[in-house]
Amino acid sequence: MAAVIISGMSESKAFISGCKGPTITAEEKAFFAAERPWGFILFGRNVGEPNQISDLVASLRDSIGNPDAPVLIDQEGGRVQRIKPPIVQQYPNGAAIGEIYRRDQEQGLRAAWLMSRLHAFDLMRFGITVDCLPVLDVPIGGSSDVIGNRAYGYDPKAVAEIGAAASAGLKAGGMLPVMKHMPGHGRAFVDSHHKLPVVDVAFDELAKSDFLPFVAMKDELMAMSAHIVFTAIDPENPATTSPKVVREVIREHIGFDGLLMSDDVSMNALAGDIEQRARGIVAAGLDLVLHCHGIMDEMLQVARVVPVLAGDTLRRIKAVEAGFAKPDGADETALREEFNGMFAIS
């Protein structure tokens, strides 16, 4: 495949990579320079103290010679918050936002916007530009707590409205959101980090619930896939590696034409070795393979099989790169006081 130019750089590949620790090693630096991931993702193992985070973000970008390379993180609040106190405050989970919404819809949407706007204040200081938020999954009774209180609630309309407010808050702060986990992870009865969830529910029922928040937010620029089998659509393959789910549900029914990345390729819901999984993700029609764990042998396997950015993926990449806006200039102290007052956080 011919090389393409991305933001002035050549041969960026269709994957997002993590790294092993709080600094990048010489081996990682050489790998990134040679294989050119489009972006990077941080986890708790990468977080030490403020200057270290900023230095790591800068060194990741420097390794591929792109000062604007996207750097992602899962900073939801609750139990999924990679940067924690005392570096930033502890934020409530999605269910707590949903509880305010159920009492007062306007206040709930304000709380969702405020929390995301505060995430942007926190993260942009370190150069982190993409938050893997909102969680648009709609759980059902008895489902695995892998989503659990990360979800805004059980009403798909409420989830959609709160998710839209959360996305708006990030964008107001100069960041971009990633919707997850498309087309819906709420019905999983096992944790997809460890086992493959299988959902035996008719398409019409899924369309009225699980898919609905994603339809409502189909014009967002980025989404992350779900490692879940929907037997009504493709009984053999999880959404992440199913051309049928990607084409018929995500692209056609939901109408999402944005950048679609996989959930972590290392998760054991996916079958085969890492190279086979990455091949399946590309073959299914996803735009990017996400590899999170910083394990070099796995990173090499991913890099071997992902393509250079081209075609529709390149078009979507360009839309994302053009989608970053300057922060709105809001008063952080005032917004933080307002938000913390909603939750009696001192």
Q: Which residues are catalytic?
A: 193, 263
CA dihedral sign of residues 342, 344, 345, 346: positive
State whether residue 148 is helix, strand or coil: helix
**120 burial level (CB within 10 Å; 0-12, 13-18, 19+):** buried
User: Which residue type, as a one-letter code, is found at position 163?
Assistant: G
**159 burial level (CB within 10 Å; 0-12, 13-18, 19+):** buried
- Residue 111 has φ and ψ, to the nearest 5°, of -65, -40
Strand order through the sheet with 130-131:
176-177, 130-131, 71-73, 37-42, 13-17, 288-291, 259-264, 222-225, 179-182
Angle between helices 94-103 and 105-124 (to 10 degrees): 150
